[in-house]
Each structure stands twice: as structure tokens, then as C-alpha cells.
Amino acid sequence: MASTEFGEEGDSRGGMWVLEQRIDQPMDEEAEKLKNMYREKKFSTLLLLRLAYQSLGVVYGDLGTSPLYVFYNTFPHGIDNQEDVIGALSLIIYSLTLVPLVKYVLIVLRANDNGQGGTLALYSLLCRHANIRTIPNQHRTDEELTTYSRSTIREKSFAAKTKRWLEEQPYIKDIILILALVGTCMVIGDGILTPAISVLSAVGGIKVNHADLSNEVVVLVAVVILVGLFSMQHYGTDRVGWLFAPVVLLWFLLIGGIGIFNICKYDSSVLKAFSPVYIYRYLKRGGKDGWTSLGGILLSITGTEALFADLAHFPVSSVQIAFTLLVFPCLLLAYSGQAAYLMHNLDHSNDAFYRSIPDKIYWPVFVVATAAAIVASQATISATFSIIKQANAHGCFPRIKVVHTSKKFLGQIYIPDINWILMILCIAVTAGFKNQSQIGNAYGTAVVLVMLVTTLLMILIMILVWRCHWILVVVFTGLSLIVECTYFSAVLFKIDQGGWAPLAIAGAFLLIMYVWHYGTVKRYEFEMHSKVSMAWILGLGPSLGLVRVPGIGLVYTELASGVPHIFSHFITNLPAIHSVVVFVCVKYLPVYTVPEDERFLVKRIGPKNFHMFRCVARYGYKDLHKKDEDFEKKLFHNLFVFVKLESMMEGCSDSDDYSLYEQQTERSREGLLLNNNAITSSTNMDPTVSSLDSIVSVTSPSQLNATVRSSGHVSNQTEVDEVEFLNSCRDAGVVHILGNTVVRASRDSRFYKKIAVDYIYAFLRKICRENSVIFNVPHESLLNVGQVFYV
């Protein structure tokens, strides 16, 4: 039976695509092998420890450089008495214990989306468990993907009630999306502030041994390093990535060892800070000043959200081992050592880290500190590229150029436009504020807001995905909000002292992302409502009322079902159309990747003599669209396989050999036959057209050929004729037809909608990359079709 489309339902799976891996940070071939062995559950303790070592350079650089600037930002005006040092150390100890260790390492890391972390990964996980996506381009076959994992929810459970409530309230969907976007924007803010404060704090060590140097010189050196760092991004980290883990390991060992030295040399009594009583005394004695100093204490846990966002391809257990065995103890020792030094040097709070270093190893530590700051900055910049790529896949960021910086690992990417924007903003922050205190205030604001967003999303994760008891949800939420709201209240006092910077940056990015998403949703809704009916297409006949010229026309559309309005606009204004028309839809799903043999959905539109097909290329938010020649090659490969399999199914429809495919297609055929029978009964169709609107997935050409040879009823002549026809059309030329649409607000729209659509969205579409550039379409093969949409 042939697979023919007469409605919106019944997409079928078929074809292949290359599984593209994403690796956000540098990993050598050995680490890649270890990662694969872990995923296959063939790992030993030694291998897990080696992966934990690899994760140091990727995950913990940001958190590890915090000792450079915490005490300076906690006591920017000096320290009054020793009890304040003990109280601040006690706050640092329990902040590190409650947030990075308990909340993130033990709980939040388990909420990863198949190894991917960050706010958008949590959002994708929620989208799979509840229908809360604002772009309704999902089809039921998408849920059959092997990577579309989700838990089964009992009908009368609390999770089911929560799911129904989320799906029935449209505004809730927007609130969850905005929450995810706020978290994303704050991570982008981290990508600007982390290099600024890390490099400036590391370079500030020059002044300790050269007190005559002015602050302007330190800022200038920091700016030069930052310019060099951002200018080298297009080379990628392939050649120097192997240095990251040993640099960070050496850094942690140094700060831990120096901490032990200082505790023994100066004052071991600082260890009494492990008693939480000193937190109460510190806040009671300090009053408002003590409360606002929490903004400096907060910097001790900066990098915690990056710990989750940079989880990447490392097993959760390896990240947990690295933190508990090395990072956590070394950080506690580092802060305790600085506190011990400050107990006898209360006036050295501005540069406590460098002054507490023994003279003999001062300059080696300075070099390692600068290298660690660069590694931390590089990890944050790479994470920013990755999260913007994810936002783009969710339809929440304008089209951007993504450059692959590694031939080995497709996951190492570079986004030129974003890189230069980050560099300009980072230099502006460094040169504008000039001191760590104001940058620290800005940094703390960004960090605490990301943590609050993660907590709110985790509530839904615990209910819908983990299906935890409500008491556990309340305990987690209560403890998290108490800690984070306390810090948030402290940073509010410093909004006018630099805290406004991340809010302004995040506000600008949030406006861009939400307006782009709004315009994308409205454009998709318009296309859905204005798509062409199949009755009209069939009424035109096989020639479509035009001259069918040799060649293949690839019509790009955002619709995964139905014939787009752009096609009717095209054929009513031009007298010819190609002999073969393929509607190509590239869409992203709320999964981290789409496996190789599930990338494409291929189906026929109308009777065979119309020579019209649909091809849906599905990607996960971590997948990367490859170059046009690869895309076109794979598309035609899948199209040819589809034609062969379609003819095979026709030929063996009355054969016993058809039972080979029944187990694979039984579930799909039952539902699809019902849909098509309903359509056929209500529409006057050609009786020669089949009612089956399904085709099975092709796992490999060899399996297909073997099955075809085993059947004596395959229509070989029909198959060969159509394949030859497709090949001849391909040789005649391929034209890529893209819609160049202009979206405008309708005349009766409110003023804010007109501003958003006619000005902001129009400006973003004007400056963003064209679809032809994103798809790498050759200019000589491109045909743009212009039209105006009023939304």
C-alpha cells in the first residue's frame, strides 16, 4: 500500500541522519572513550575517578576562583574585630554546605536531562511531562523517539492533577517559559561578569608586591587579557583543552595547602566557625551592615549554577566525587586559612588571598591563579555559547551563526556575534566599575536569581518527573527559599552599588528573547490557520495547473503537517513548478538529541503522479545542523529509501512476508488507518489512492534490501521507475525555496503589540541571520518568496 497524505495526521517515521554529539567543553579522545564506557555501565572506580579529574577543568573553575575575592567583597570597608571574621567564615562554611553540596550536588544534579543541565534543560524535561510548550509544532510520533523519555503518571495522583492544571492554564505556560528565560539571561550575565571579576581579582595580585602601581594599570592589564581571551575564541579549545583539568587541580591543591599552612601558622581557633552559633552572633552584632555583607558571602557559592549548567557529558557520579573528595575540602581549607590570617591582620581584608600566600611561592601562585581565572572564564563563555544555542533551538533567540571549532567534536562551538557582544560588555563592566566590590555586587545579583529560578523549576520537576511526596517537595522548597531569599534580600541593598548591571543586561536579553519567541509563535499560528487544503491541491491535478519543469524544489516551511501558504502564493504568481516538490520542515524538539535512525520523517503528499513529498528533520536542542551538502545528501537518501520501502509494502501487502513488519507497524497502522478512513469517508477521493498514511522506520539499507529480496510480490518496476525519475530530477538541479516573510501587527492591535512586532521583532529579523545562511543554501540555488503576515 502507498503512503499518501490527505490531512494533517499520520506522519510516519523513516530514514536516517547522522547523530551529532555535543561536547560543550574540551575532552580528549581518552575521556570520550571513558564517557562511552560509563554510559554502557562498563566502568570501574578508577575510570570514574579519571572522569572526575576531567570534570575539574570544565565544571569547577568558576567555583574554585571565588576565594580570590570573597573576603574583600564581604568587608569592603575593613574589619572591626576578630569575631566578625569567625562569623563570616561560619556563613561561608554553611553556605557551601547547604547550596553547592546539599542542594546541587546531591539533589539538582539528578534532575539532568540525559546528562544535560541548566534551566533550559529543566524546561525541556518539563515539556516532555506536560504539554506546556508555547509553539504547538509537536506531533504524536515525536513522543515515540527513544530519547523522548518521560515517566508514567497515575491518573488520580497529585502529579496528574498538577499536569492538568498546568495544561489548562495558558498563562501558566508563559510564566514557566519566562522563568526559564530569566534563568538563561542570568547565566548569560554570568558569562559577562565571571571573566571580569575573576581576571581582575587575579591580576590584582600585582599590587601586593608593587604597591606603587595604580589601579588603572591593573584594570588595563585585565582588559588586555580579556581582549586576548575573547579574540582567541574562534580557534576553539581543542589544542589547549587538555591543560584545563591539571591547571584547576593544581589550583585546588595550592589553595588547600596554603589554607592548612595558614591555619597552623596563624590561628587554628578559626575552626570553631563550624558551629552555627557564630552566624547568629555575627548577624546580631552587625545589624544592617552585617546583613548587607551577605552579598559578599554569596560570592563564595558563585559558580554553583555553572556546576549544573556545565554538567555536559560527565556522569553525575563523577561530578559528585570531584566535589566531595577535592573541591569542597579544598575550598573549606582555603577560606579557613584566609580567616586565620585575617585574625592577626584585620586591615588586610582587601587583598587577603594574596597577602596570606607565603613569600617563597607567591609568584608561582600568582601565575596559577591567573591561569585558573582564564580557565574559569573560558568555561563560562563556552557555557554561554551553549545556552544561547539551546535558546535558539527553543525558538527563543534570533537566528545566529554557529561555527564548529573542532573537527573531532561537533559540540565545540563558537558564536561570533555573541562573542563580540560579550567582550564589549565584559570590558565595559571591568573598565566602568574598576573595582571588585561593585562587580561583586553585580555578580551576586545574577547568581542568586539563577538559583531562585532553579528552585522554582525544581518544584515542578519533583512533582511531575520524580513524583515525590508533597512533604519532601515542601521541605526542599522551604529550605532552598529560606537561604536564597535571605541572600536576595541582602543584594537588594546593593542594587545602586553595581547590582543594577546584571538586571539591565538580563532585562535587555529577556526582552529580545521573549519578543522573538512571541513573533515566532504568532507567525507559526498564522501559517497553521492559512495553510492550503488538500482538496485544493488535488483539484489542480498532477501538473498542479502549471508547467512541471525538470528538477527538485525543496520548499522550506515551519509546518510539520499540511501544505504551507507559501506554496499557494508561489504557484499563483509563477507559471511553473519543479517535477518533484519536497516540503522540508526543520524543527527542534524538547530532547537533548535525536538518534541517527530517527532524525527524519518522510511521507508522500497526494497520489504518486503528483510527486510531492514531506520531509521533517528533527533535532534536539544539543544537536547541530550540518552543512547544506550533507543535509541535502541525507535528505535524498531518505527519500529514495522511502520510495523503495513504499513499493515493497505495496508488493507484499497480500504476502505472508508482510508479517515481518507487523510487529513494527501494528501500533502506528491501527491509529492511522482509523484517521484515514474517517478522512476518506468525508471526501471524494480517487479510489486508487491508498488509505494507509504510514511508513515504517528504516533501520538500515541492508535490512531493507534483504527483506525486498525475500518477497516475491514487490513491485520492482514501479520502484525502479520512480527512483530513476527522482535521480534524473536531482541531476537536473535542486532549488531551495524559502519564504521571506514580513510580520506586522494588525491595525486593531494594542500599542504595545505594535511596538513589539512592528519595531522590535522587525529589527531583530533585519539584523539576524537569514534562513539561507543558517541552512548554508548556495546563493545560485536560492529562491525567496516574499509575503506579508498580519498577526
471-496: pLDDT as tens digits: 999 999 999 999 999 999 999 888 88
Give me the half-sphere count of Cα atoms (radius 13 Å) on the Cβ side of residue 299. Answer: 31
Contacts 24+ apart (CB under 8 A), 402-410: 402/624, 403/234, 404/624, 405/234, 405/235, 405/236, 405/237, 405/238, 406/236, 406/238, 408/29, 408/238, 409/21, 409/23, 409/27, 409/32, 409/238, 410/20, 410/21, 410/22, 410/23, 410/624
Q: How far is CA 606 from CA 562, 578, 761, in A?
A: 11, 16, 36
CA–CA gap between residue 740 and residue 742 (Å, rounded) = 7
| Higher-confidence position of 349 and 10 | 349
Which of 735 and 314 is assigned the larger pLDDT? 735
Supply the pLDDT for residue 685: 34
CB contact at 8 A, 16 and 600? yes
pLDDT band at 43; cut points 50, 70, 90: low
Whether 201 shows a pLDDT value over 80: the answer reads yes
Across 430-442, average pLDDT: 83
- pLDDT for residue 696 is more than 80: no
* Nine cell digits for residue 27: 575532552
pLDDT at 653: 42
d(CA 717, CA 354): 81
At 668 the pLDDT is 35
Of 94-98, 205-209, 586-590, which one has max mean pLDDT?
Answer: 94-98
Other Cβ atoms within 10 Å of 640 Cβ, number: 19
Contact 88, 282 (CB under 8 A): yes
Does the pLDDT at position 639 exceed 60? yes
Kindly give, in sequence order, each residue whose CB lies less than 8 Å from that of residue 588, ignoring residues fewer than 6 positions away.
393, 394, 395, 618, 619, 620, 621, 623
pLDDT at 332: 96
- Which residues sit opposite 613 in a β-bridge? 582, 604
State the pLDDT confidence band at 264, using cuts at 50, 70 and 90: very high
Q: Which pLDDT tens digit goes with each residue over 502-525? A: 899 999 999 999 999 999 898 888
Element (H, E) at 638: helix 628-651
Give the pLDDT confidence score for residue 19 in this predicted structure.
Answer: 28
What is the gyration radius of the CA atoms in the chain, in angstroms? 30
Confidence grade of residue 787 (pLDDT, cut at 50, 70, 90):
confident
Structure-block grid coordinates of residue 53? 579529574
- How far apart (Å, rounded) are the C-alpha atoms in residues 635 and 221? 51
Q: Which residues contact 528 (CB under 8 A, 6 or more apart)?
A: 136, 559, 562
pLDDT score at 463? 93
Task: Provide, rounded to the nearest whole percent, the portion of the chain with pLDDT above 70.
Answer: 82
For residues 480 and 463, give the distance between their C-alpha atoms in angstroms, rounded to a whole number. 16
Which spans in 17-81 are helix H? Answer: 29-39, 45-59, 61-64, 70-74
Confidence check: pLDDT of 16 > 70: no
Mean pLDDT, the chain, rounded, equals 80
pLDDT tens-digit profile of 221-230? 999 999 999 9
Mean pLDDT of 233-251: 81
Higher pLDDT, 365 or 627: 365
Most confident by average pLDDT, 178-182, 348-352, 575-579: 178-182
Largest Cα separation within the chain, whole Å, is 95
Q: How far is CA 753 from CA 184, 522, 530, 744, 765, in A?
A: 24, 11, 21, 10, 16
Residue with the bigger pLDDT between 696 and 262: it is: 262
Mean pLDDT, residues 554-562 taken together: 85
Short-list 206, 209, 210, 233, CA closest to 220: 206
pLDDT value of residue 11: 35
Q: Which residue reads 497524505 in cell numbers?
A: 5
Question: How far does CA 694 lie from the centroid of its chain?
Answer: 32
pLDDT tens digits, residue range 118-128?
A: 899 899 999 98
Dist CA 215 CA 241 (whole Å): 32
Residue 350: which of 204, 193, 497, 496 has the closest Cα? 204
Q: What is the pLDDT of residue 651?
A: 54
3-state secondary structure of 690: coil
pLDDT at 488: 93
Tell me the mean pLDDT in the region 160-184.
Answer: 90
Above 60 in pLDDT, residue 67?
Answer: yes
| Res 741: pLDDT | 80
Average pLDDT over residues 600-627: 84
The residues facing 116 across adjacent strands are 113
Min mean pLDDT across 10-14, 204-208, 740-744 is at 10-14
What integer pLDDT is reported at residue 2 of this predicted model? 38
* 385-405 average pLDDT score: 86
Residue 128 identity: R
- Lowest-confidence range among 139-148, 260-269, 281-290, 776-785? 776-785
What is the distance between the alpha carbons of residues 641 and 632, in angstroms, rounded to a whole number? 14
Beta bridge partners of 276: none
C-alpha cell at 671: 491509529
User: Across 511-611, where does the E strand assignment appear?
Assistant: 547-556, 576-588, 600-605
The mean pLDDT of 242-262, rounded to a whole number, is 93
Over residues 87-97, the mean pLDDT reads: 96
User: Would you list the DSSP string of 114-175?
Assistant: TTB-SHHHHHHHHHHHS---SS----GGGGGSTT-------TTSHHHHHHHHHHH-HHHHHH
Residue tagged 504524536 (cell numbers):
140
Report DSSP state, residue 738. E
